[in-house]
Structure formats: C-alpha cells, structure tokens
Structure 1
C-alpha cells in the first residue's frame, strides 16, 4: 500500500481538511499516476454536501485529474512511465455488457466504478484526485497530448467530455444554430468546442456581465435571459441548445427557443426536479434529452480534438488550502471558469 496526502470531506457539513489515504498496490494492468492538477467540478460540491444522495465519509473528491505516469503493472501495454496522463469520472466498469462493448462505459449495465464515492472491486471506497497519487486500471487512463498544459487539461476530463459528447451526438457543426445556456465551468467549454466545430454560437446567460468573455471564447451572440425581450426575439431560432446550468431552469421557456426538430440537451444536474408541459415538445417536434459525460474512447477523441486546436479550459490555479473557499465561490458563481488545485501544495 502507498500512503499519500489528500484533502477530504469528513461529513456533509464540515469543511474539507488534510488527511492521508492508502492507494492499493499495483496489479498487472494498473497505472500509478502522480497527480499535478485536479479540477474542482460542481459535482464535487453536490457529492460532498450530500445534495444528490447520502454519501459515505471520509471521501476525497476530484475527477478532473492530470498528471504523469510514475509506475506501471507488468502487463500494461498502453502507457509508459513519464507519459502525461488523465483520469476522468470513471475508474472501472464491467467491460462485458452491451454498453461497455460499445465504448459507453458511463452507461455500464452493471454500474461503473466512479473515481470517488463508489465501492471498487476491492470492496473499498474509491478516493479521487484531491490527492498526490492515484492507481487506475490502464483502460481508464487517458493520454494527454502535448500542446495542452496539464492545468488546462485537467477540467477536460469532465467539463470537456460532458460538453463534447452531446455536441458530437447531435452533429453540431457548420450551419448549426447552437445555444449554450450558462457560461460557467461547463458552458465556457461548450462555447469553445461548438465554435471549433463550426457552429454559429449564442450564449444565454442571466446577465451581460460575462459578455466580453463569451465573445472572446468563441460566441457569435450573447443574450441576457433576465431581459424578457430575449425570448420573444429568439423564439424558434435554434437547432440545438445545451443547458449547462446546475440549478433549476424553466424548461418550457428554453424549449420555446428551438425550431422544428430542435434539441435541448441537459448536462447540468440540479438537485431538485424540474417541471415540463408536454405541449412544449409537441410544438415543432422538439426533443428534450440528457447526456452524461462520455466513454473512454470518446474522451480520448475529445482530448485529441482539443490538442489539435489548442483548446483548454480557462483556469484559476489554487493551493489545496483554498479548496473550501473555492467551494463557496463556485456556489456563488464567482469563478472564471474552473478552479484547478495545484497538487504540489499537498506534498
């Protein structure tokens, strides 16, 4: 066992604090990664605070991990010591079910093993990336190409794939009128990616406070949802909308902005249910859908796409001692656009 430094939540109400955890010995197909940077995802906060379901403690959050391979098991073939490596939201799955065989491990029929807060095959609670090292099966380790800094690459493991996957699934590209709802950790990557794919991109945000940023990131248009004229002006305008907001939204009003066969895809996960008038779907034959991260092959595809175009997340790097403050700032929407922990500050 390897004992490593970490930052953990000990309950749903206490601040996160330093502790040590044990990482398992390497198996034949395992990879040991020395973590350089870990992004803070809003999902970390939901999980730590028990907002989605009761959790087990202590738990080390973090599923946006970037670092360097330091050791490999004797039967590892896809990774070598010194490789730049990433880990996202999953660290294992059954590998056998119909979805896993299709490369959609996020929908594993038997349930995948999440990077933190899951029970692994060894019967122990998985612990995430707010730590100096992690051991992961080689099939769930991603290659981070040169051309992306490890700090800017870390959030791609969740924010990047979470937005890339539905953009690809709904064939967003040249000729597409695409809208991104919310310009936060997910939304800013959605803007970058949709622009790189060739779509005409609009941002729908509560105010025009981030308009300059949105246009710089690749948006062609920027609208304030607090302005009642916005919805009348944009009625029926979009082919595709990606809702990245993790708070409750007026789904019917958003659907009204779609043209015929338009799709509204939700990737934000509010803790409370949302309501829907089915006539919002019947009109214009609209689609309301959801999307959950992406499989390992698609995540690698996303990383390669970003590297080829020089895309990375907009990050604010913080020391581990700033994690609790960052949680409060994220909850207040006070980040542009992803906090990333410098894991060297844990050593």
Structure 2
C-alpha cells in the first residue's frame, strides 16, 4: 500500500486547538507536514482566549514534527491574510489549508439573534473565504495546492436549531466547489469533509466517544491534503471509520410538452416524476446543468414556446 506522505509540505489548520482541528494537525504533522496551528482559544461561542494552539504545537514538537502557533481570527480579511503570511514567513510556502474553525450559537429559527447569526457566518463561511483567498494566490504561484473545507451534515441535510450553523456550512460547500473549478488548472484541488465526531461542539448530541473519535476522521483529511490525492470537487462524510460521498444529483425529472404552456396544475400532477431520484446525473458545475437542459430548451424554442 503506497504511503500517504506530506513530507516537505506546509499546512494551515484553522481552529486546531482542540477536537477535530487538533486531530487534523497532529495527523498532518505525523505524516511530515509543517503545520501552522491556528486557534484563538475561544469558547464554543467564540468568546474568550486561551493558549490552545500553543499546546498543540508542543505536542507536535514533542513528536519530532515542525509547527508554529497562530492566534489570528479567521473572521476578518485581515486575520486571514495575516495567518497565511505567517505560514509563508515561517515555512516558505503553503501547500494545504484545512478550513476547520467554527463556533456554535444555536437557537431555533424563530428565536435567532441576528448578531449571533452573523458571528457564526463570519467564522464558518466568511472565515473560510478570508483564509482561502490569500492561500489560493500563493498556491496559484507555486502551481500546487490542496484545500480541505470542513462542512457538516447540518449543512447538507439540516438540523433543528442550527439555522445559522447549517446555512454557513452549506455555504462552505458552495465556496469549496467554486475553488475546485477555478483552481484545477493551477494544480489546486478542493474537497469537503463532513465529519461525524464527538467533540466540544457535538458532545451534547453524540454518545459513544470512542467510536466517534476525531481520530477516525483525520486520515481522510490527511489524504485530501496530500499530493497523493487526485480527487477534487467532492463532499465526503466521515465518522466511526465509515466514509461516503455526499452529492447533489439531478433527477431525470419530467419534461412538459414543448408545444404547450406549462401550468401549475400540470406541475402538481407530475410531482412524483419531478421528485423521482431513481435515475440521476451529477453536474459538476452550474454551466454543466445548463448543458443538460439544452435539448429541452431547443425543443421548446423550436415549438415556438417561451423558455
């Protein structure tokens, strides 16, 4: 079995002071990467500050690895720029970014405090963009890079009381897909991990701490951050040693008669076919879906009906 190595590579891991981020940083370091361990040391809601990043750096150094700590916040463009600059100054390059930083301020949708909503978006979604853009530019210059965006099943499937978190995590997937499309010609790959693990953020919802250890997710992150990885534009669920692709598919659907104007009644009558997922395709970009629609557009245009 060919080894997955990050020897000579430099990785930035955000929110790496504990839980999943710590597990990612340690795994990348064990496989040879120099790691910039970023964490503000805040509590679950993003307040407060400790030396969590320093503690993880000490662990990595104790294992004989290379690491440096960083306390810049992902929630501002300046923080993202400073973080990437710190990695470049200390290690000379940036090969991989793991966008893991996150906070929770859960409330049911009808009770959302908008300051809390914006704070969650600032860390998860905007934070991922703020860190990734300067890293993307550095990777583009060197012709190589790997992005691992961390999303959640709250973003793919929804979760009660997590409108702010779920919408941010869904946005992370959209961001990652665009980075995959724009980065591919520069040797930059971008993928998403949706971890299922028991951490500070999930301990109130998940039992079985051993089976749902962050260490069961870290190997996937290490692979996606490595030169061995050839996949891009993928979303992968990981937990308890189980890994599976998560995807958005386009069903075969129902095509209205191109010679007729479509009515709401016709849509209602054919909803079963519209929602049927037994046959599907998986577009890898918005233009690709439009290409799939082209024959139907042509048929309706030929029939003289408005598209």
Same fold (TM over 0.5): no
TM, length-normalised to structure 1: 0.27
Which has a greater percent of helix?
A: 2
Structure with the greater alpha carbon radius of gyration: 2
TM, length-normalised to structure 2: 0.30
